[in-house]
Amino acid sequence: MPSARNEFVEYCCDLLGSVGPCVARRMFGAWGISTEGLTLAILADLGSGEKLWLKADATSQVRFEAAGCERFVYQAKGKPMSMNYYSAPEEAMESPQLMAPWARLALEAALKTQQAKPAKKLATKPKARKT
């Protein structure tokens, strides 16, 4: 029988489904939600219950703040640390249709983050020299 937590994870994946099929994976005591390898959201409890946190960037941050969303801030070694994630707007949690514009913002932020990373170099074996 699935737990309430698993049901919430599945519900959040359904909410974000407008941007593609979502997969949830356990990470650091929370859940990461991704589509096509891009993490666009996390589910975590920072002390006030488990919430859906959406990926943001410098452009979308303004929209999240204007909607009254809170920034993902956690304690590390007694100091507040933040990540570029914001709580999903409460009304968006009601349906996939209401979540769709927020899911697109999160996906765009995830894409920008991926594009900003330097390309990984593939390790190649040095060619044997003929003597």
**Predicted confidence pLDDT, tens digits, the chain (131 residues):** 344 558 999 999 999 999 999 999 998 888 999 999 999 999 998 888 899 999 999 999 999 999 999 999 988 888 998 999 999 999 999 999 999 999 999 999 999 988 877 665 555 555 555 55
Residues β-bridged to residue 79? 76
Determine, yes or no, domain membership for 95: yes
Determine, yes or no, domain membership for 63: yes
pLDDT of residue 1: 34
What string of DSSP letters covers the chain? ---HHHHHHHHHHHHTGGGS--EEEEETTEEEEEETTEEEEEEEESSSSEEEEEE--HHHHHHHHHTTPPEEEEEETTEEEEEEEEEPPGGGGG-HHHHHHHHHHHHHHHHHHHHHSPPPPPP-PPPPPP-
- Domain harbouring 29, CATH code: 3.30.1460.30
Residue 50 domain boundaries: 4-116
Determine, yes or no, domain membership for 126: no
pTM over 0.85: no
Query: What's the total number of domains in the chain?
Result: 1
User: What one-letter code names the amino acid at 38?
Assistant: L
Determine, yes or no, domain membership for 121: no
